[in-house]
């Protein structure tokens, strides 16, 4: 099984390359502001639960089945993220834009694939190791990234607190410096997780995250500038003053 999991991790890195090339050559994932409203879709709250749930319930199944305390800690960190994503976040969605069935199906497959890969590896193949400087740095990055991601998502959600359906320019917090702090936080979170785990499956997931939402952040930044003539010119995309 170990070799199968390693093969799955390398396959995920291969998928990341394909996704990155597609997204940087004109293809835009059709959900959210880019969704084709002429197609049949799924209620966004239900869609989000369906697609994220496998990444929570599959690792939850393996949480206490392995011998490694280090693996248990990693699965607990992974579950902490997806508990919010699968069970809390959908209830807070204010958008009424339906999610395309194909997008939901692809996301569900990925979450099941990755949930099994991370959950099984952490439970049975993650070596036992003491806390080191590397693990501390990874943990701090993971927690900081999660905080940035959640706070940024909250700011976006509050833009529709009045029940409106249109898009507005987000302000406050890191939105004063970059267009997509929610994506920057998620990227930081999974890089931190990969440093904490120090294994190929975790690295593969971090690479896929960057390849998937990095180009989407670029598309968001471009969309903001084209949609709002008064968009702050000093805002970068993901890294203040740099990119």
**How does pLDDT run across 68-103, given as a tens digit for each residue?**
899 999 999 999 999 999 999 998 887 777 888 989
What confidence score (pLDDT) does residue 38 get? 46
Q: How does the average pLDDT of the chain come out, rounded?
A: 91
Global pTM reads 0.90
Alpha carbon distance 222, 243 (integer Å): 13
- Contact between 82 and 63 under an 8 Å Cβ cutoff? The reply is no
Residue 64 is part of which domain span?
Answer: 2-227
Give the torsion sign (CA, 204, 208, 209, 215): positive
pLDDT band at 168 (very low <50, low <70, confident <90, very high): confident
- Contact between 178 and 237 under an 8 Å Cβ cutoff? The reply is yes
Alpha carbon distance 55, 113 (integer Å): 8
Please give the structure tokens belonging to residue 68. Answer: 């490694």
Residue 197 lies in a domain: yes
> Which of 5-9, 28-32, 103-107, 163-167 is least confident?
28-32
Q: What's the pLDDT tens digit per position in 25-42?
A: 877 665 555 555 546 788
- Contact between 41 and 35 under an 8 Å Cβ cutoff? The reply is yes
Alpha carbon distance 114, 149 (integer Å): 20
State the virtual CA torsion across 108, 202, 61, 130 in degrees, nearest 10. -160
Residue 236 lies in a domain: no
Residue 102 lies in a domain: yes
Give the torsion sign (CA, 93, 165, 151, 100): positive
What confidence score (pLDDT) does residue 97 get? 79
Give the chain's domain count. Answer: 1
What confidence score (pLDDT) does residue 165 get? 59
Residue 234 lies in a domain: no
Mean pLDDT of 131-140: 96
Task: Answer whether residue 107 shows pLDDT above 70.
Answer: yes
Residue 158: C-alpha distances to residues 84, 93, 94, 96, 154 (Å):
18, 10, 9, 15, 6
Task: Answer whether residue 58 shows pLDDT above 80.
Answer: yes
**Tally of CB atoms within 10 A around 187:** 23
Mean pLDDT of 162-171: 75
Q: Taking Cα atoms as reference points, which of 57, 70, 171, 30 lies closest to residue 114?
A: 57
Alpha carbon distance 55, 84 (integer Å): 11
Residue 17 lies in a domain: yes
What are the two backbone dihedrals, phi and then psi, of residue 104, each rounded to the nearest 5 degrees?
-65, -40
What confidence score (pLDDT) does residue 35 get? 52
Task: Answer whether residue 240 shows pLDDT above 80.
Answer: yes
Q: What's the pLDDT tens digit per position in 183-225?
A: 999 999 999 999 999 999 999 999 999 999 999 999 999 999 9
Q: What's the pLDDT tens digit per position in 38-47?
A: 467 888 899 9
Residue 80: C-alpha distances to residues 37, 59, 182 (Å):
33, 11, 17
Residue 189 lies in a domain: yes
Residue 232 lies in a domain: no
Residue 233 lies in a domain: no
Radius of gyration for the chain, computed over Cα atoms and rounded to the nearest angstrom:
18
What confidence score (pLDDT) does residue 163 get? 60
Query: How close are the terminal C-alpha atoms of the chain, in Å?
Result: 40
């Amino acid at each position: 099984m170990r070799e199968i999991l390693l093969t799955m991790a390398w396959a995920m890195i291969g998928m990341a390359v394909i996704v990155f090339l597609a997204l940087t050559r004109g293809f835009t994932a059709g959900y959210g502001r880019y969704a084709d409203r002429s197609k049949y879709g799924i209620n966004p709250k239900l869609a989000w639960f369906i697609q994220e749930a496998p990444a929570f319930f599959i690792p939850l199944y393996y949480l206490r089945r392995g011998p490694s305390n280090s693996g248990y800690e990693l699965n607990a960190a992974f579950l902490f993220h997806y508990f919010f994503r699968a069970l809390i976040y959908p209830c807070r969605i204010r958008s009424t834009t339906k999610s395309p069935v194909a997008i939901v199906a692809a996301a569900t497959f990925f979450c099941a694939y990755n949930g099994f890969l991370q959950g099984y590896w952490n439970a049975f193949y993650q070596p036992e190791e003491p806390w080191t400087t590397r693990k501390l740095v990874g943990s701090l990055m993971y927690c900081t990234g999660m905080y940035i991601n959640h706070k940024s998502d909250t700011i976006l959600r509050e833009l529709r607190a009045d029940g409106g359906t249109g898009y507005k320019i987000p302000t406050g917090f890191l939105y004063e410096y970059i267009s997509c702090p929610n994506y920057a936080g998620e990227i930081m979170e999974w890089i931190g997780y990969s440093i904490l785990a120090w294994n190929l499956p975790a690295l593969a997931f971090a690479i896929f995250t960057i390849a998937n939402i990095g180009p989407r952040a670029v598309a968001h930044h471009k969309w903001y500038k084209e949609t709002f003539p008064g968009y702050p010119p000093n805002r970068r995309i993901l890294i203040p003053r740099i990119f």
